[in-house]
Structure 1
């Protein structure tokens, strides 16, 4: 699928979409403003260090989840991970993972990397393929938000690269924290700037434009197995002209693919000369 397969789009305004795509392992990282408890993913992540977050999750999940949580605490008062049923939430499972904030930057960086690493490994070990994280350390703990955001994103990309499984990783930022949301948006493409291409374009005026506040970064699959399995994919792609329904992601992919093809053709012509 190549460089064009990894697509990252942020709707900065109803008028414009800016995309960034990059070959970094396989998987998807998505940043979204909203609530962790409404996420329709396999697993939502909480932390025992945040009483507000933990109680919000348990209250929304209902008595089944809280009973299970209390039972796990009785077994082990200092667990690294507590896995409990989702109860009334749309997710399949709740993981509450041990994490303690600190103002020592070295320890904070390590603790965040361990938190993200442990969470993703637990998700994969349990056979799940999607997970939502809260923006830990960016609220009441008064941590360095720049350090937190940079470390979270880098560790997520590292885990996607090394685990080599299809995985959706979402970062959920509180709706009122526009500053934190924008910082995550800026950090994701900045992790490997030399491997990121940029495509800016306007959607056709006849399209309905989305106003949802969401950023999506798809880390494409570049393994040999994936490339061979996707051969001929375009031949099976049919669009009903009468229906005139066009998917935005397909449009982004097409623009990216055309750009990548043009670059390759230009390089080939230069070499021939």
Structure 2
């Protein structure tokens, strides 16, 4: 790669890329505390309102869309900056209201894309269950649950395979520029180019290392939540801690996805 075309992301990949992934995610969160506290606060409030049955759907959608907006800001800021100084400046100049205005429409397209994909998967599963005789007429609710439980292992394997290419799909989402592009980016999960790119050894090595560390982080967070839940006075903060961790994981996912994209571009 020519020196004049190098960017911050190339420097991050040259030396300790896994460590740099977590470091750059942390820096996005801590450098602009006003942005982080406001964005995290909005994310937590939207999710808490999403737990109220009467208005759950509306606020669940808004929370998901807001999360996508933040991820687009993180990914684009990191992917497009030339050096660490520019990255810091971009973070410090970020404002939540401007980010929402800039990416909200595209984020709604992404949300609709994921919703349609989930509906498609459920339809396929229902069709397979009906045509193979797994689900029959006059079955009780428990029988239906047990029947679908038989799909457990195959579904886990499929989920693992799709999660392996998800960073590349997410990078396409981050770089989308319109409602339509956002919707279409979700379905690049079926793109031949995405799957061929994911076969690269360097991509596998990076995703495997980041994935293992992320799972360890999630496991640790789970232990903390379990501990908080046992303490009556502060047990209620366990839910808030979960949303805080989700926010960090969203930021980490965006950094990871752009690093993964750059790996297969080289």
User: Higher helix fraction: Structure 1 or Structure 2?
Assistant: 2
**TM-score exceeds 0.5:** no
> What TM-score do you get using the length of structure 2 for normalisation?
0.23
Larger RCO (alpha carbons 8 Å, 6+ apart): 1
> What TM-score do you get using the length of structure 1 for normalisation?
0.23
